[in-house]
Structure 1
Amino acid sequence: MSAQARPPASAPPPGEYGRHVPVTPFRGYLLALAVLLGSVASVILFWRNAYEREMSAAQADFVSATQQMAALVQQRMINYELALGGGAALFASVRPTPQQWQSFVDGLDTRERFPGLLGMGFAPYVTPDGLRQLQIESHDAGYGLFRIRPPGVRANYGPILYLAPMTLENRGVIGYDMFSEPVRRTAMIAARDSGKPRLSGPVKLLQDDFAGSRQTGLLLYSPIFRLGDTPRSLDARRESLQGWVYIPFHMPALVQTALPYRDRYEGIQLQIYDDTGPKAELLYTDAEFGKSDEAAFSRSVQSEAYGRRWRMDFRSGPAEAISPGLAGLRTLLLVGLLSSLLLFWLAMLLARTENRARQIATQLTEDYRRSEQRFRMAMVYSAIGKALLDHEGRVVEANPALCDIVGRDPERLAGVPFSSLFDDATDPIRTTEMEAVAEGVYRTTRRLHRNDELRYVQLTYAPVPGNVGQDIARLVQVEDVSERLHAEAQVRALNRTLETRVAQRTRELSAANNELESFAYSISHDLRTPLRSIEGFSRLLAERYQQQLDGAGRDYLARIRNATSRMSELIEALLKMSRLSRSQLNPLPLDLSQLAAEVVAELRSAEPGREVEVAIAPGLQAVGDPALVRNLLMNLLGNAWKFTRDCDRPRIEFFRETRGVADEPVFVVRDNGAGFEADYVGKLFRPFQRLHSQEQFSGHGIGLASVRRIVERHGGTIQADGKPGEGATFKFTLPGEGA
């Protein structure tokens, strides 16, 4: 522990500050609590027993309802089987004609008695030879050629021959070979081998293709044998099979007709699965099944359905919906709890009447003790020096941190005028600080010597009241700021050193720039001398020896002269680039609209035959060097003029837009010319970087690099955007009028 963190020898130990007066527990409160717990436990126990009885009765009703619903669905399937049995008996006795079959089905009145059925049909079991004979019989009977679908040669067929009632949808499925489809074939083979009606798995019925329905379909098949009765052996059944009488129906229609009054079952939801195969297949589900997790009960019922295993999943509604008596139980529970709280409140009133006075006295004593404890702990363990002063400015009490700062013991500080501790003390009793603190907080910096070492401290005076009969008027805080002031002095010294270094580096940079400029001019002079020699001798060679040179020689000579001319232009462009970086800026308010109009006028006079639409927004103002800004506009507008050369209707725009929170003005030059690839936008502002060939568009590749240097020298930014064949857009910023 540091010296500032240690409490003085006279300070009370922390245990004294943390000790509080224990509160004696009162028997009245314990009695009130016992009454509350006993009454609440009795109410909850009674409510729990009643709730379990209600839920048991509701669960029994739910089980009974689900058994009844499952029985109704199975009974509906038995009705379908009975209707199918009549058709099978008719085919077993005599093979009816299509008209007889239609009359038989009409006599069953399927629309009224079996609303879920789509019809009743017959499919013969034939070989390829039998199929041809069937087609001949159909043709001879005047029904036309019987076509089989899907086409192809197979070992056996089971085509739909009859299907009544003869609706438009049922007519469209005549001739379909059900034996060619795996799900239907499985049910047909099961009916043949067992000699009993068999149900298919879920399929899409052929009639749904015409009606546009997406309901789950099923088919119930009953085999028909030649001898009438079902043969006993499997081989005999396979040998004597004539075909199948079958019923197609939709599973939702089956459930709706079997359970017409769903409201009787108290909101029970149903879902039916076919569990025959390795993977359960959904046959039917209520629209709201599984959308809510508040079901009170759930149950699954397994059943056999003509060779298939069905699982019926049932879910009840919420507990409140299936058992209306629960609402009364909730009311009973609420009344019981309120009664328990009322008894508890009465018991608490009795206990509070007994202990109210004692609690008030204890609370006041505890608040005072804690307030005193917080103040004492802040004084003793604060890292900042603190002292309590009387009305005459003498030290009444000081903390250990103040003793360390002034280098005195606590006993020697008591009664000492506080101002006498500092070197610049005048009147130890009446000081400026003591006069100013009467009106509020006052801060000042003083110096003192501690162990022959000069220290600086910051004083903060504040009025503080004392206890009754205690002469305490002010609290002063003393913070040693010697290290901070020393650090600030070092920072100021470092700043002065840094300014000297910056000035020295500036002079060195200016000298280097001057040397670089001299070097650039020297290099340009040294490069131009051999270029002039090459150009002069090549011109003389062309004039004097033109007749002796063939076509290739004259072409080479022309290329040499063009190269020297371009080299001279590039040297001049380099010199201009160097001048842009070193020239002195002379910022003035500028009318960019007028400057742009002058540049466009020069471009029109240079090419009077070109018709270019130029739109310049009026009132474009900025601050900049007139010569440099004119150079900037000449490059940007000149580029737009050049690259719109091949356009049918060339157009150039110069306007202003704003961006950002401060509405920073952005100047825009836009054209509809050749444009450029966006991937190469980084090369635009580099010297001698060109995105078009010299033959297509002439130039030195230095213009946009100059533009970027001019904008950056003015403290602005520039960016470009474009697409090949759709033009280019250049956006730059310059200081506004208030810059």
Structure 2
Amino acid sequence: MADVPPAPEMNGEPLQSRRGYQLAVLVLIGALLVVALYAQSASERERQLAEADFVAEAEQVVELLRQRLLAYELTAHGGASLFASVDRPSARQWRDYVDGLRLERRSLGLLGLGYAAWLTPQALEALQLEIRASGGGLYRVTPHGARAHYGPVVYLEPETPENLAAIGYDMYTDPARRVAMGASRDRGVARLSAGVRLLQQQHDDPLRPGLLLYMPVYRAGSFPANIPTRRAALQGWVYVPFHVDALVESALAPLRRSLVFRIVDTEDQSVLYADPGYAEVAESRQRLKHGIERELYGRSWRVDFRSAPAAARGLGSPALQATLLAGLLASLMLFAVVWTLARTHSHAQRLAARMSESYRRSESRFRTSMQYSAIGKALLDRHDTVVEANPSLARILGAEPSEIAGTEFGRRLIDPAGAHDEAPDAEGVVRITREVARPDGELRHVQLTYSPVPGDLGSDVVRLVQVEDVTERQRAEAQVHALNRMLELRVAARTRELRQANQELESFAYSISHDLRAPLRTIDGFGRMLAERYRDAIDDAGRDYLARIRAATARMDGLIDALLKMSRLSRGELKRVPLDLSQMAAEIVAELREAEPERKVEVSIAPDLRAHGDAALVRNLLENLVGNAWKFTVGADPARIEIDAERGADGGTVFAVRDNGAGFAQEYAGKLFRPFQRLHSQEEFSGHGIGLASVKRIVDRHGGQVWAEGRPGEGACFRFTLPADAAAE
């Protein structure tokens, strides 16, 4: 097959792959440009809509303020109407009228409803006399001084301490109030004052701009036609005082605002009101701005609006922001798709190149393994004809590789028909052993392995056969079998000898138990007779010697019993059953307490100590360990024995028997489990030195381990294991 020229590369990447990445970047840039254009146009539309909403809301705010001032005008006009029915109402009548208005419940933001009289000095003196005569007390006008006309406050309800303090104040002396009062008098309509400090506000409080709305009252409820007659017929003014912030708060209470504003009196450029956040956003370019001028009751107001801080963060609506985010995500997803396709294409190209190179190297490795393999190999077609053979196969068959190619492989086998009798395994591999005849007449045993060879459709190679010469191996195996048979015969002979030796040992043990005990009984019997019959003829030294003879005889008899018991531990069948070591230890301790009731020993036995083993042997083991602890704690006060279990390093259970008795030096721990090895004298602690050796033999039979730890005078601890699956018995 002709080689395909590789694609041109640039910086290690094929040129086609780089074009794919470039296309992905161009797609991303184009998509982002489309999103940016849409965002710009949508933002402009959103800005226009936001500005329209902003202007509409501003108009609504101004309208609500105007309506609230209209409510103030109607309130003042109602008070003026009272003078049409009464020449001048009394203080009680004025109070009843104002109470009927319920100003506090209506939340209009008014401080009260008052009446200021228009008086000459003579009229003022008459008013003072009238008030004093009616029991109202002394009526004083402030500020003091003689003037051509006075405008003092006569009534001001509701009757609060602040309003009472304003009674008698001549408002006509204040320039701002005098302008509004004169304009109202001459025009015959309500007029607003400029911003002033109201009398209800304490002087030490921060300034709160206040306004007063004056409504003229003419005598007999008339309305003169011209200014001179109006001035002559003027009786006084009904007025309403209020703070501007109270006006704004009460007027805009039902409105949820998204803007901030301030109110400027354009005649004197004074700021009557400003929202708390107005100064922060007043000069910002990112805020919407709008101004509305209105002529309100003789004053010219300009209301400057700015978008509120919350709305100034951006003009985009949530829907627009969501749309832009979706467009951005779509652009990124489109870029990711194109980038992934380009990367996949690049990966496919690299993979194809690697596969071509891998195929070439694999072919080279296969040829090398065929050529230099020590095992004979041959490629076969579907007719079992050799297509190619390696030198090792030629050496096994005793021919040249060229002589093998083109011949039927099965003809070289002694039993060619059997080559296909074996069933293939799951991978289609067949393994058989056959003989081949070399041209020199020598027969060789070979191991044949047939395996299918995957290849292209129409290929002439379908199987690979591997031929391994196993002649020498079979000869060696035959020799090994012969040696094994010899070894088995020797083992059987040694087993018979061992069985015979065990029988002789049992006979010897029987002889010991009978033949050695007879002379011991004789010695003990004659010693007892001497002690009983000739007690008076023997002095104290003789009686002591007889006692020693009898004690040595008894000790010898005990040693013989201990040896017999230890010899029996190695014989007999081991019967494993579940064991309750806690109950077994409790029974042993009860027997020890019964034997020595005078001993006071604290014994702690952990509950539910479970094991598997031979019941008789394990009881013997516990009797020796607990008996040793009982014996060696005779000098301890208090004596204490603990029987419990702990988790071993391998996860198994380790049983332990501890005491606080005499203990032993750790360097002599290895001697404890040997027969007749004692670390204490017979006079200190009695015994034969067989108990711990029996413990070791019992644990060994169960396949476990036993070890000891101790310190002189501090007690000892014996630990052992009883594995349930021990094989050694």
Scaled by the length of structure 1, the TM-score of the pair is 0.47
Larger-Rg structure? 2
TM-score (norm 2): 0.47
